[in-house]
């Protein structure tokens, strides 16, 4: 499967715990995105990377959230001291660089439940 891969698919945690999600983009895709989606809403932009550089972060991304893409391939999203309001689907997407093909390819997401 050469699509965007996210792990885990589901995560249940207790409030106050730290969680980390992983995203493996489509090979050779330079841009990688993280979005958050709650029930009945569209995906909300969190951050994106061009190779290993984090180019933009949403103000939704509080200091408890951190994303990395150290080698310009896979990325991790960590949430520290989770809160119940963090419960959501966390979606990763990738796209190739260049202006002729900009569409985002999404993974299946990680569903986080904070108890």
Among 12, 102, 113, 115, binds other proteins (CB under 8 A): 102
Please answer whether residues 76 and 25 qualify as being in contact, where contact means their C-beta atoms are separated by less than 8 angstroms: no
Find all residues with CB under 8 Å of 23, minimum gap 6, and list them: 4, 5, 6, 32, 34, 74, 75, 76, 77, 92, 94, 107
**Region binding other proteins by CB under 8 A among candidate stretches 14-22, 66-74, 76-84, 87-95:** 87-95
Given the complex with other proteins, which of 84 and 100 has the nearer CB atom?
Answer: 100
Q: Which is nearer to other proteins, 13 or 96 (CB)?
A: 96
Residue 98 touching other proteins (CB under 8 A): no
């Amino acid at each position: 499967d050469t699509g965007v891969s996210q792990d885990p698919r589901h995560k249940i945690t207790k409030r106050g715990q730290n969680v980390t999600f992983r995203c493996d983009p489509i090979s050779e895709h330079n841009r990688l995105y993280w979005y958050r989606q709650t029930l009945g809403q569209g995906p909300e932009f969190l951050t994106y990377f061009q190779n290993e550089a984090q180019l933009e972060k949403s103000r939704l991304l509080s200091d408890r959230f951190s994303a990395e893409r150290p080698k310009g391939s896979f990325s991790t999203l960590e949430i520290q001291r989770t809160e119940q309001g963090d419960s959501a689907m966390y979606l990763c997407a990738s796209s190739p660089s260049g202006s002729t093909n900009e569409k985002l390819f999404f993974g299946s997401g990680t569903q986080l439940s904070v108890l």
